[in-house]
Structure 1
Amino acid sequence: MSEDVFAALEESQQQSPESVLERLIETLTAQKNYHRLFDALLMQQKHAMGLEVLQPTTFDNVPDERKREFEEAYIEAARKVGNLFLDEKMYSDAWLYFQTIQEPERVSEALSKINPRTVPEDKVEGLIQVCAYEGANPEKGFEIMLQSNGICNTITVFDQMNAQLKPESRKKIAQLLVDQLYTDLVQSLQYHVQQKMPIAPPADNLRELIAGRDWMFEGGSYHIDVSHLNSVVRFARLLSEDDPHLAKVIELCEYGSRLDQQFQYPGESPFEDFYPAHLHFFKALVGEENDRNLAIGYFEKKLEMEPDEDDKQMIAYVLIDLLTRLKMNERAIELAETYLSQFEDPNTFSFTSLCRQTNHLDVLQKVARGKGDLVTFAGALLDAQNKPQPQES
């Protein structure tokens, strides 16, 4: 650093301490030395408050009655420095400041505008780090990961991070993976058809491409990594019941059902018959009453026939999930009371949350009474009392 910079600060001291701080801030801004600019801004604030300035970011020497004033200056300085880093597209540095002052939306919004196809190779890992691993914009992080590192790596990371992500992020990432796998599979099938039938009319629909073409599956043939297909179908259970991506997922299940048995890997209970079971589940969400009844009957029979108690709970969990999505709350709460009334895990299933969501606090009271749980019983009693009553017409 030039000695002239230090000399300029010494010259400013002859005018006033305020001049030193103004020159310092101007210099650091011009140098784009924004981390130290943050220190200088708070040094300026502490000087204005008549406090020692050598440890500018600490609250230790700030009197209690003035901490609110310093906190406001701290937030404003972090916001200013964070925006300067965003202007330079230094997202990780910006995230440090905006996350500290609990304003993550500014960075998330900026990241959402990135086109994954135009990210320079040397920026990919940094962006994935701040977006996905640090949580600034998980959906964008996985979008960049999918574009740059491929679907295999993306599936692995999503499996590892699933429990850490918010439900909305999980849904968006599942949508990304469904779209990517569907597109890849359609392209692979199109190529197979063209090789076998050069004059066949073009089709970009998976169901149309495999209809009446059993020869595509002869000899154990497949057209996509079958482990990727299995994972993406499993992830698709994260999608909402009104998600248009479910139409693609059903076609993926139809394709998977036609694969040689050696490639139809079994899932966890009740999805041992992986693709047929998932077809029941997804068709119930998007289909008519007959599809719903068939699916409910399918899983109820599995529940009835299952001898293992742990597997019974897994089946009940899936069935309750399906029933609540179909707004069949009475049947859902009945099953939950029988099989899952002891479960209180916010990441998987909470019996208390289900009772609240389905307006069955009376059932929660009954279960709490049976368990001798006075706290939950009292809470359910009070919440039921405070719940707004429907207006008489």
Structure 2
Amino acid sequence: MSADAFAALEELQQQSPKAVLDRLVETLTTQKNYHRLFDALLMQKKLALGTSLLQPTSFDNVAEGQKKEFEEAYIDAARQVGNLFLADKKYSDAWLYFQTIQEPEPVAEALKKINPRTVHEDKVEELIQVCVYEGANPEKGFEIMLQVNGICNTITVFDQMNAQLKPEERQQVACLLVDQLYADLVQSLQYQVQQKVPMAPPTDNLRELMAGRDWMFESGSYHIDVSHLNSVVRFARLLPDDDPHLSKVIELCEYGSRLDSQFQYPGETPFEDFYPAHMHFFKALVGDENDQKMGVAYFESKLDQEPDEDDKQMIAYALIDLLTRVGQDDRAIELAEKYLSQFEDPNTFSFTDLCLKTDHLDVLLRVARGKGDLVTFAGALLDAQAQSQTQES
């Protein structure tokens, strides 16, 4: 800052403290020194409150009766400075202020407008950091990551971050990965078809590209990184039941099922037979009544035949997920009571949550009584009473 700026403040001191701070705010705004502007704005408020101006962001020297008023000024200043940073596209700095006052929406909306294809390379890491790791807009962060760093890196980070994301954020990222992998695989198959059958009619449909072309898979041929295929199909179980991407996922499973056995990596129970098992799962969600019956029967058969109790729980977990998504709540609760009634993890499975969502507080009461859980029993008892009174009225 120039010597003239200091001299100007000294001159204004003779006029009034308010004039000094007004000039300070004006100077810092012109210089775009927004972090210090935040301090100056709070100094203005402390001057009005008649308290010490040093340590302007601290609440320690604010009288108890004035803290509410100072808190409102703090929020207004953070909002003002955050918007100035957003105007300059300094998203990380803006996030610092909006996150502090628990108003993430302005930054999330601003980030949403970014075109990943136009992001300058020196901004990539900053945007990924604020979007993904700090949670400002995970979908946009993964979109940028996918565009710049590729699908391999994106899959790795998504696997690591999965538990920290909200369900809707996981679904958004899963959609991005399905679209990218599907497009990459279609492009690869299109090239092979053009090389072998130059006059073949063009299509961007994976199933049509594979139809009647067993030669594509001869001698252990594959056309996409098979580990990426495995991961994206696994992520697709996060998608909601009515998501249009599921039709693409089924086609990806059909492709995976035609690969040489050495490239069909087994999954965790009950998805050891990875692609056929996933096809049963996804077709049960989006197919007709017969597909639904076959899908449920597939996993029920696995459950019946599994001798290991731990593996039975894993199969039951997948089957219960499927049953609730196809509207078979009674059967889902029956299995949950038998195999998963002790699980209360909000990130994986909560028996209490399932009972609430499926309106089976009677089952929760029975299980709580059997476990000697007075707290859960009392909660279920009173919630059931409240529901009954609401229905009667």
- Answer yes or no: same fold by TM over 0.5: yes
Q: Cα distance, 1:127 vs. partner?
A: 0.3
Matched, 1:207 2:207: yes
Separation in 2 of the partners of 1:25 and 1:292? 66
Gaps of 5+ in 2: none
Partner of 2:150: 150
2:15 aligned partner: 15
- Counterpart of 2:253 in structure 1 is 253
The alignment status of 1:39 with 2:39, answered yes or no, reads yes
Q: What residue number does 1:368 align with?
A: 368
Match of 1:357 in 2: 357
Cα shift at 1:184: 0.2
1: CA distance, partners of 2:204 / 2:2:
64
Distance 1:238 1:384 in 2: 31
Which residue does 1:86 correspond to in 2? 86
Task: Tell me the SS of whatever aligns to 2:279.
Answer: helix
Distance (Å, rounded) in 1 between the aligned partners of 2:126 and 2:34: 19
Deviation of the 1:346 alpha carbon: 0.2
Partners of 1:297 and 1:345 lie apart in 2 by: 27
**Correspondence list, 1:107-146, <5 A:** 107-146=107-146
CA distance in structure 2 between the aligned counterparts of 1:92 and 1:114, rounded to whole angstroms: 14
Q: Distance in 2 between matches of 1:46 and 1:120?
A: 41
Where do 1:90-109 residues align within 5 Å?
A: 90-109=90-109
DSSP 3-state at the match of 2:223: coil
* Structure 1 match to 2:27: 27
Alignment match, 1:190: 190
State the alpha-carbon separation in 1 of the partners of residues 371 and 92 from structure 2.
49
1:62 lines up with 2:65 in the alignment: no
CA distance in 1, matches of 2:226, 2:102: 42
Q: Distance in 1 between matches of 2:134 and 2:338?
A: 40
Offset, 1:281 = 0.1
Distance 1:289 1:17 in 2: 77
Alignment-derived partner of residue 276 in structure 1: 276
CA distance, structure 1, for counterparts of residue 287 and residue 248 of structure 2: 14
Equivalent residues in 2 for 1:166-315, closer than 5 Å: 166-315=166-315
Moved more, 271-280 or 301-310: 301-310
Cα distance in 2 for residues equivalent to 1:129 and 1:74: 26
Cα 1:392–1:36, aligned 2, differ >3 Å: closer, same or farther?
A: closer
SS at match of 2:84: helix
Question: Hey, what does 2:6 align to over in structure 1?
Answer: 6
Inter-partner Cα distance in structure 2 for 1:31 and 1:65:
35
Tell me the alpha carbon deviations over residues 167-207 of structure 1, each in whole angstroms, 9 at most, x when there is no partner: 00000000000000000000000000011111111111000
| Deviation for aligned residue 1:387 | 1.3
User: 2:380 maps to what in 1?
Assistant: 380
The CA distance in 2 between the partners of 1:318 and 1:375, in whole Å, is 28
Cα distance in 2 for partners of 1:209, 1:390 equals: 56
Compute the displacement of 1:388 (Å).
5.5
Residues 310-351 of structure 1 deviation map (CA, whole Å, 9 limit, x = unaligned): 111000000000000011100000000000000000000000
Q: Against the structure 1 CA distance between its residues 286 and 200, is the aligned structure 2 distance closer, same or farther, given a 3 Å change threshold?
A: same
- Give 1:99's aligned amino acid: Q
Match of 1:341 in 2: 341
SS of the residue aligned with 2:150? helix
Shift of 1:389: 5.5
The structure-2 alpha-carbon separation of the partners of 1:79 and 1:388, relative to structure 1 and needing over 3 Å to count, comes to farther
SS at match of 1:387: helix
SS at 1:82's partner residue?
helix
1 CA distance for matches of 2:288 and 2:197?
A: 36
Q: Give the whole-Å Cα distance in 2 for the aligned partners of 1:138 and 1:83.
A: 20
2:30 aligned counterpart, secondary structure:
helix
Q: CA deviation at 1:126?
A: 0.5
Cα shift at 1:280:
0.0
| Distance in 2, Cα, partners of 1:102 & 1:176 | 28
What is the CA–CA distance in structure 2 between the aligned matches of 1:134 and 1:51, rounded to whole Å? 35
Question: Closer, same or farther in 2 for the Cα pair 1:39/1:121, shift >3 Å?
Answer: same
Structure 1 counterpart of 2:160: 160
Question: In the TM superposition, what is the alpha-carbon distance from 1:42 to its structure 2 partner?
Answer: 0.3
**CA–CA separation in structure 2 for the residues paired with 1:257 and 1:389:** 53
Shift of residue 101 of structure 1? Answer: 0.4
Cα pair distance change 1:71/1:392, threshold 3 Å = closer
Would you say how many aligned residue pairs link Structure 1 and Structure 2? 393
The CA RMSD over aligned residues, in Å, is 1.0
The TM-score normalised by the length of structure 2 is 0.99
- 1:391 Cα deviation after fit: 5.7
**1:307 Cα deviation from its structure 2 partner:** 1.1
Give me the whole-angstrom Cα distance separating, in 2, the residues matched to 1:145 and 1:329: 39
The 2-side partners of 1:221 and 1:369 are apart by 57
Give the distance between the partners of 2:150 and 2:303, measured in 1 at CA.
38
**Match of 2:322?**
322
CA distance in 1, matches of 2:142, 2:134: 12
Q: Are residue 72 (structure 1) and residue 72 (structure 2) matched?
A: yes
- In structure 1, what is the Cα distance between the partners aligned to 2:104 and 2:309? 44
2:388, 2:224 → 1: CA distance? Answer: 53
Give me the whole-angstrom Cα distance separating, in 2, the residues matched to 1:296 and 1:19.
Answer: 75
